[in-house]
Amino acid sequence: MDSHGGWIATPSDLARFAASLDVAMPSGSLNAGSIQQIFSRPPETGYAANGIELSAYYVYGWHVESTLPEGTEQWHDGLFRGSSALLMRRSDGIVWALLFNTDNDDRREVPAEVMTPRINRLADSITKWPA
């Protein structure tokens, strides 16, 4: 079986793809308008029944969650027997990707869910990028 969602990529490939969404190409298929549309709140599912904006929603394959006042974080995850993955775009511009050759551990926990808070703590501790 090929890639379940149609993608075959390394974590580095996924991170480069996610980071590329920060740079709109004027004449490309992903221009500023299309990138904005990818992450925009959908009218059908981005609001509660009373019309209040939800802090989290799903649009075009991305989970989007407000991190006010910073902005939003976007991620896409996947799980298939024997594998799991997570691609994260943080509101501070840090992008990271995880791929695992397992779908859960001995306690039935998904590796990406276990690792996400740990990786975000590491990312939060970054004070300076290497030159």
Asked if pLDDT for residue 5 goes beyond 70, the answer is no
The answer to whether the bond into 130 is cis (omega within 30° of 0) is: no
Model confidence pTM above 0.85? no
Asked, for residue 129, whether it belongs to a domain, the answer is: no
Asked, for residue 6, whether it belongs to a domain, the answer is: no
pLDDT digits (tens, 9 = 90+) for 58-89: 998 899 998 878 788 999 988 878 888 899 99
Domain limits for position 86:
11-124
Residue with the bigger pLDDT between 2 and 33: it is 33
Whole-number pLDDT of residue 87: 94
Q: How many CB atoms lie within 10 A of CB 84?
A: 20
CA dihedral of residues 16, 95, 98, 119 (deg, nearest 10): 160
Asked if pLDDT for residue 3 goes beyond 70, the answer is no
Whole-number pLDDT of residue 4: 61
Asked, for residue 98, whether it belongs to a domain, the answer is: yes
Confidence of residue 90 (pLDDT cuts 50, 70, 90): very high
Asked, for residue 1, whether it belongs to a domain, the answer is: no
Asked if pLDDT for residue 119 goes beyond 80, the answer is yes
Q: What is the count of structural domains for the chain? A: 1
Asked if pLDDT for residue 1 goes beyond 60, the answer is no
